Amino acid sequence: MSSNDESRFSFFSRKKTPSIDESELKIPTHIAVIMDGNGRWAKKRMLPRSAGHRAGADNLKTLCKNCGHYGIKYVTVYAFSTENWSRPESEVHTLMELFVEYFDRYDPELEQEGIRVRFTGDIEALPENIRAVCKRAEEGSKHRTRMTLIVAFNYGGRREIVQTCQKLAQRVKDGSLDPSSITEEMFASNLYLPDVPDPDLIIRPSGEERTSNFLVWEGAYSELWFSDVLWPDFGMQELTEALVAYTKRDRRFGGLSKEK
């Protein structure tokens, strides 16, 4: 039995969900994944943390393929947070190098799968070579329409909200915006990627059960699903378990249940 088979899944319980016919699944338009557990994956195998990050990056390709199988249109992954700069300099350097390598290596496969690449986060604060990769990946994939892969890099949900407030405050200061005209819809239209629908489902592997400053505004009504499986081992079985759980949720958005 593999380590994946032995792992437990849950949001409310640790029991494995019975299998279900794929035709019965309710497929979300947009899922977001916190790619967590790379370091622990490496430690369990007595490997350097860099090996875990590399395995995690490789698994992103698998995630995209699996999501494509289900027809999911948007996939956002939490790759590097604004808080990750506090990690050892050597690890940050490794993550930056891996970022560049990933898009150089896998772009032909992303092209073949019809996957458009976009980035969300404080991209302008990144080193010049990383910004160049972001621009190249976005420009070179604009024509792809099967799926959009959104990479949250140097991303923090609170920073996104603060920067949106700063943007609107400057317009108020300039006299081009009346404060009383600011609505939730206007605020949302000034976030990093206002044209992307909010995530229906946020998934976090690794056993941690928090969202860690990820999509704070956009994820206000997202369904949450957690797994004990470490990110490099997160595969089709785990994704299917998440979709089964999502299918059984009653998304009320503050209203009454459809059964009431």
- Report the amino acid identity of residue 221: Y
Burial class (CB in 10 A: 0-12, 13-18, 19+), 229: buried
Query: Residue 94 — φ and ψ, nearest 5°?
Result: -60, -45
pLDDT score of 15: 42
pLDDT value, residue 6: 39
Confidence of residue 258 (pLDDT cuts 50, 70, 90): low
Kindly tell me if the per-residue pLDDT of 71 is higher than 60: yes
- Tell me if 42 sits within 8 A of 49, measured CB to CB: yes
- Name the residue ranges covered by the structural domains of the chain: 25-156+197-247
Cα separation, 51 vs 57, in Å, equals 10
| Bridging pattern class, strands 9-10 and 223-227 | antiparallel
The answer, yes or no, to whether residue 216 has pLDDT greater than 50, is yes
For the structural domain made of 25-156+197-247, what CATH number should be given? Answer: 3.40.1180.10
Model confidence band, residue 11 (pLDDT cutoffs 50, 70, 90): very low
Report yes or no: 25 and 70 within 8 Å, Cβ to Cβ.
yes
Residue 136: Cβ within 10 Å count: 14
Per-residue pLDDT for 35 more than 70?
yes
Q: Where does residue 71 fall: left (phi above 0), alpha (psi -120 to 50 degrees), or beta otherwise?
A: left
* CA 225 to centroid of chain Cα atoms: 13
Query: How large is the average pLDDT for residues 30-58?
Result: 96
The pTM of this model reads 0.89
How far apart CA 190 and CA 163 sit, in angstroms, is: 9
In this predicted structure, the answer to whether residue 13 has a pLDDT above a threshold of 70 is no
Read off the pLDDT of residues 77-129 as tens digits, 9 standing for 90 and up: 999 999 999 999 999 999 999 999 999 899 999 999 999 999 999 999 999 99
What is the rounded distance in angstroms from the CA atom of residue 236 to the CA atom of residue 65?
9
- Mean pLDDT of the chain, nearest integer: 91
Average pLDDT on 54-65 reads: 96
User: Is 260 a residue whose pLDDT tops 70?
Assistant: no
Rounded-to-integer distance, Cα 260 and Cα 258, Å? 6
pLDDT confidence of residue 21 = 79
* Catalytic residue list: 36, 84
Distance of CA 52 to the CA centre of its chain: 18
CA–CA distance, 227 with 241 (Å, rounded to integer)? 9
The 10s digit of each residue's pLDDT in 120-164 is 999 999 999 999 999 999 999 999 999 999 999 999 999 999 999
